[in-house]
Structure 1
Amino acid sequence: MTEPLTSPLHDRHVALGAKFSEFGGWLMPLQYSGVVAEHRAVRSAVGVFDVSHLGKARVRGAGAAAFVNACLTNDLDRIGPGQAQYNLLCAADGGVVDDLIAYLISPEEVFLIPNAANTTTVVRLLSEAAPAGVEVVNEHTAHAVIAVQGTSSDEVLSALGLPVGQDYMSFASGTWGGSGLIVCRTGYTGERGYELVVPAEAAAPLWDAVLAAGAEYDILPCGLGARDTLRTEMGYPLHGHDLSPEISPVMANLGWAVGWAKPSFWGADALRAQREAKSGPLLRGLKALGRGIPRPHMRVQAGGADVGEVTSGTFSPTLGTGIALALLDRSVAVGHTVDVVVRDRLEPFEVVKPPFVTPGVRES
């Protein structure tokens, strides 16, 4: 059995008393002071996450951006150098191999951040399809990623002399401690924040500096448990749950991340057919009307008949109630009431359109 990989910050997490969990082949912090406290720190102040398990890959060479654009669903021509874009890599049948962020550095270079468990597959598929002169390099362990998220994130990074204030889904280059890094106005929490892509060897001192600079803003180190509750409150999909080889962008209500007018991209014919057919299940939000806490794979019923399944479910610390994402029959619409089978009980839920909370991510 292969031992899970560890972050360059692993010793720091041990010293902070983190509880660990394996995720995507990596041993990562699940929580430190507690999921609810860490969640609330991000919503009201600032939190710092180690997300170095996320993949990193670089596509470079003449026509690199055009090549990536011919593979991924979204349209890179909509953005310019210094901007990032949420994207999907699909199979021929429209299923999602991975969702990822593409950072457009130049027409000759694109930096990709896929999910941890899918990085090798993404790199392999792109490498196999790359034309002469374009190379795809797996840089998964060469970089760490530190996410500083929350209403005070600008103040914390400004204290370190790092560039802040860029538009949402934009990035800037900077230096810290003699190392170059990228400061990306991105994140997975729904709050204003940044992700710092830094050489692995520079990660530990930067982590220490972020915690020190954030002390006056009540910063907390946060684990993947809070990251999950935060992203669920926003309705952000998680690959392997709300997206998968069996759950397409059309089913997941991610048509906005598909460049429908592009001449071609991987899975284009299948996705266009799905959109035209207007059949099959759709991903919806569920908000508890009682005390039930939904979990993945719980059945959803209407009128005593199964109409779908929970894909992500949790307790919302912000709302104080259970919330979920669920793949439901198209007969179930926003505003309807359904039942989730929770431990052999039928718990009522309202069908809603995410996000469940008001996001601060786009605030200037």
Structure 2
Amino acid sequence: MTYLSVLLCFISEYMSKITGIILAGGKSRRMGAEKGLLRLGSKFMIELAIEALKPMCDQIIISENTDAYDFLEYKVVPDYIPNSGPMGGIYSALRESENDLNIVLSCDMPFISTDLLKTLLDRIEKNLIAVHWHGGRKFEPMCAVYSKELLPVLEKFINENNYRIPDVFDVVPTSKVEMNDQTLGFSDKSFENVNSEKELEKAAQYFDKKLPQMNSLMLIAGSGRNVGKTSLVCKLIDEKKSQTDLIAIKVSPHIHEEQDEKSKLFSGQGYAVYEEFDPNGSKDSSKMLKAGAKRVFYIQADDRRVGEAFSKLKEILPKLPIIAESGGLRHYYRPGLFLMCHKDDTEITKEKSLVLLPKVNQIVHFENDSYENDIKSVVLKNGNWSINY
């Protein structure tokens, strides 16, 4: 049997018998945001946890005390006992679990794989817990398998104000799993977590490298509203159209139902894609067409759906260089060139812009309806975008 067939047999054996419990962790004081909603590549950290758990679990529970994750449409369970830490989160989620076997995973462990979770599950046997053990008193309790039979034990610990999860391992049958390079799903990065801005930056760089490279794509974002994004797109179209035909794309995070249905190419959950045909209209997409783009498209989608919308559009696009007015697409692709428009010399404070800033190739300053930087440094060669610094 192949490895894939073995894994599928394993999954079919356990399916409908396992609950995945994600410890969302709430708002990080160090990073000023919900940890699970921090982005790594094209996904939120909580989505990476869901991806690791989903192939093996028929139920997913998110342990969290706010409504921040309601959009995911999984059951969100608040702490039954306030201020009881991760142990209280595990206890509360186990009470809501439909299964005896439960895989607990903290959302700030983005390198955990399904294979590694399978390894832990294989080792639970007749124990109530299976947990990775580094030796001594060093465990990984935020990535472990817990039986629902632990509920009275956890309740006793919480009532005694003892929230140290490793102390539980001393009083119940526990499989202490040692892992190394030969262990299925294990790597040096497996148990790295994201608890600081420095760790977030390091993890973001790792996941960014996994995004598809698209050198024929140039992205233009803005540090806010009215900073000259569309003007820059039109100027670049006007300058480069003599070299080759160009595709232009306008991305908007808002869905407008009044759009002309005749120009709609397709739509999906949370997005719609149109083609612009009117070069004399007042819309930004009309201005791009008037500037000389061969074809212009208009995507309405938020940052969670724009990657899917663009990917589907890309399937029907001619093989031409693309200029897209979008920052959100940078979460899904590594373009040949990424510019950010910024008005005057004010500090960039918009949260979405700050996240993208480390990935920008050049900031273009828009002042008095002109550009401080010489955008002639933008190079289009053999259909690919780059810049001469």
User: With structure 2 as the length reference, what TM-score do the two structures score?
Assistant: 0.26
User: With structure 1 as the length reference, what TM-score do the two structures score?
Assistant: 0.27
**Structure number having the greater helix percentage:** 2
